[in-house]
Amino acid sequence: MRSILLLLFCIFARALAEELSAESQEVIDAVNSAHTTWQAGRNFHGSYKKNQVRRLLGLKKREGERVLPIQRYERSLKDIPDEFDARNEWSDCASSIGHIWDQSDCGSCWAVSAASVLTDRMCIASKAKFTAQLSARELMTCCSHCGDGCNGGYDDQAWKYFHHHGIVTGGDYGSHEGCQPYPLKPCEHHVNGSRISCPDMGNPHTPDCFPYCTNRKYKKPFRKDHHKTKESYQVESIVESIQQEILNNGPVQAGFTVYEDFLSYKTGVYQHVTGDMEGGHAVKIIGWGVENGTAYWLVSNSWNTDWGDHGFFKIRRGVDECGFESEISAGIPDLSNI
């Protein structure tokens, strides 16, 4: 009887937690009173619930060995600058590198960030001959071994898919750019904004996989529009190796654990202060630097430009903050189809 009551209590507690607001004022106050390296504030509308914000955290964690080889670097290959911003280094590709995606009310961060990184690397490797966006849609809807679309996926499988299959072009929702633009409408996660509220979208399902260009105005045939990597890999979990990889080839994809306080990031260099674990997330590292004595990674998120610092955030570098340096994926573009 006691075990049954305990089970019922756990179920009730979990259901209650799902209905809590996405952000906690207690967490925000705790961060700001701790005088740490960053500032917190409201990012999500008060009607946004815990179960809804968890939909954005779509990176699945793999048990056991990963599917990609490890890319290692000798420490003395190249001098590493104290500060670096890929937008400045490759200015012809800055519009791509600095682009902030909106994954909508969908756990497609694993696909959006992977497609964004490969887009940047295609532009950089081709010396800006390739400037189109690559399609997160094809990756999240057609890669059957990558996961479950809007319900989450694996970053390493995304890069394996790039190598063996490739993906077509495709811009933002409603952009009419490329073969398969992003299928889900941008929505308002946040306190102020002009978009439709994400909760009002009703938890959209993963769109169907289509073996043709959904943008009827796009002229290139679907089968001839695919872009691959010559090789895909995981970068070893050493700061200098990650920096070397970015210096050589461009932005990389990072997977990490999100805690409750991260949701309320506004400015500064994030480090976990308080709050429960919420899930896994995948993002794009575009550089690094030092702020008030704290080393950081410069990162673009995919929760539109109203979140955080205009869609970007900084996170503490060199201490594997929230596992941030343990899951770095990337690859070398195949330029034969540009």
What residues act catalytically? 109, 281, 301
* Helices 109-125 + 155-164 axis angle, to 10: 50
Tell me the residue type at 61: K
CA distances from 159 to 78, 88, 319, 330 (A): 26, 26, 25, 7
Residue 11 identity (one-letter amino acid): I
**In degrees rounded to 5, what are phi and psi of residue 250?**
115, -175
Nearest 5°: phi and psi at 164? -90, -30
Partnered with residue 284 across adjacent β-strands are 253, 300
**How far apart (Å, rounded) are the C-alpha atoms in residues 292 and 297?**
14
Residues 6+ positions from 203 with CB-CB distance below 8 Å: 52, 55, 105
Phi, psi (degrees; rounded to nearest 5) at 48: -75, 120
The CB density around residue 195, as the number of other CB atoms within 10 Å, is: 15
